Amino acid sequence: MKSSFLLKGTGTALITPFQDDYSVDYKSLEKIVETQIKGGINYLVVMGTTGESVTLDKSEKSAILSCVIKKSRNRVPIVLGIGGNNTAEVVQSLISADLEGVHSILSVAPYYNKPNQEGLFRHFCEVSKASPKPVILYNVPGRTGSNMMAETTLRIAENCPNVIGIKEASGNMDQIMSIIKNRRKDFLVISGDDSITLPLMAAGADGVISVVSNAYPKAFSEMVRCSIEGNWIRARKLHYDLFDLIPLLFAEGSPSGIKFVMENKGLCKSTVRLPLAGISKGLQEKIKKTIK
C-alpha cells in the first residue's frame, strides 16, 4: 500500500492541552486522542501550529509525541511537524529525531525570512534528502509571509519522490486546483482550511488537516468521507452544520477558539501559552450561541 494512501481523509491537527499552570495536561491529551480515533478520523498530526509547537521545549515535544503514539496503539498513522526557517537546523532535527512510530513529517515553509521560490525549492530538497520518513509540505502564507506557488510545489514533487503531498492553506483556489490538475498520480493535495474543504474535495483534493475536528471529529470526518464517496447531499449538510462556527474559531487567534469549544465539551481546559491569550468574553458568547 502506498504510504500516501493512508493519509487520505481527515487528519486532526491536535491541540496541546495545558493545565492552569501551563504544564502539559497528558491525561486530557490521552482523552482527546481516544475521542479522535473513536470519532473516525484517519490520522493525527502532532506538533503543528494548532499544537502550539513553538512554545514547547524539546523534552515536552518528545513526551507529547510518545503519549500520542502510545495511546493511539497503531490504530491510525501519526504525522509529526518538523519545520522552521533555518534549513540546517531543520535538517539536523530530522536526522537526530526519534521517529519510531511516526508515519510522515509535516514541514512548514520557512517563515519570517520570506524566501523566494528558488529558496523554497532548495529548502525542501534538503528536507527531503534528510528525512527518513515521507514528507508533506505545508504552505500557509498567512503565517509564513511568503506563498509557495503551484509551480514550485510541482517542481519539488517532481524532484523529491519522498515528498508525498502538500497541506495547502493559501486559500487561493486557482493555485490549489492547478496543483491538483498537474500533480503526479500519488501526490496528495490536502486542504489546510476547514471552511473550504468541501469545495476542494469537489475539485479533487484528498482530504484535510483540520482544526475544527479537534472538537467535532465524527461530523467533520464524515463530511470528508462523504465527499470522497460522492455523497454530496450529506457532505453539504455536514459542511453547513459547522460553517458558521469555523470562522469564529480563528477570529482571535488559533488554537484559542477551538480550545474554548473543547473546554465547553469537557475535553480539556482552554489554557494557551503566551504570546497567545484566551478569547474575549464577546467571542465566547458568539461561540456558545453558535454551538447550541
Which CATH number goes with the domain that contains 57?
3.20.20.70
**126 within a domain of the structure (yes/no):** yes
* Confidence at residue 1, expressed as pLDDT on a 0 to 100 scale: 47
Distance CA 24, CA 115 (A): 34
* Confidence at residue 2, expressed as pLDDT on a 0 to 100 scale: 62
**251 within a domain of the structure (yes/no):** no
H, E, C per residue of 234-269: HHHHHHHHHHCCHHHHCCCCCCHHHHHHHHHCCCCC
**280 within a domain of the structure (yes/no):** no
Q: Which three cell numbers stand for residue 2?
A: 502506498
Catalytic residue list contains 167 = yes
**210 within a domain of the structure (yes/no):** yes
Q: Is the pTM of this model over 0.85?
A: yes
* Confidence at residue 124, expressed as pLDDT on a 0 to 100 scale: 98
Give the structural domain span for 106. Answer: 3-240
* Confidence at residue 6, expressed as pLDDT on a 0 to 100 scale: 87
Three-state SS at 210: strand
* Confidence at residue 159, expressed as pLDDT on a 0 to 100 scale: 97
**282 within a domain of the structure (yes/no):** no
Q: Which of 71, 138, 216, 259 is catalytic?
A: 138
pLDDT tens for the chain, residues 1 to 292: 466 778 999 999 999 999 999 999 999 999 999 999 999 999 999 999 999 999 999 999 999 999 999 999 999 999 999 999 999 999 999 999 999 999 999 999 999 999 999 999 999 999 999 999 999 999 999 999 999 999 999 999 999 999 999 999 999 999 999 999 999 999 999 999 999 999 999 999 999 999 999 999 999 999 999 999 999 999 999 999 999 999 999 999 999 999 999 999 999 999 999 999 999 999 999 999 999 8
**133 within a domain of the structure (yes/no):** yes
Catalytic residue list contains 138 = yes
Helix, strand, coil in percent for the chain, rounding step 5: 50, 15, 35
**278 within a domain of the structure (yes/no):** no
**220 within a domain of the structure (yes/no):** yes
When divided into structural domains, the chain yields a total of: 1
* Confidence at residue 49, expressed as pLDDT on a 0 to 100 scale: 94
Q: Which of 8, 61, 71, 167 is catalytic?
A: 167
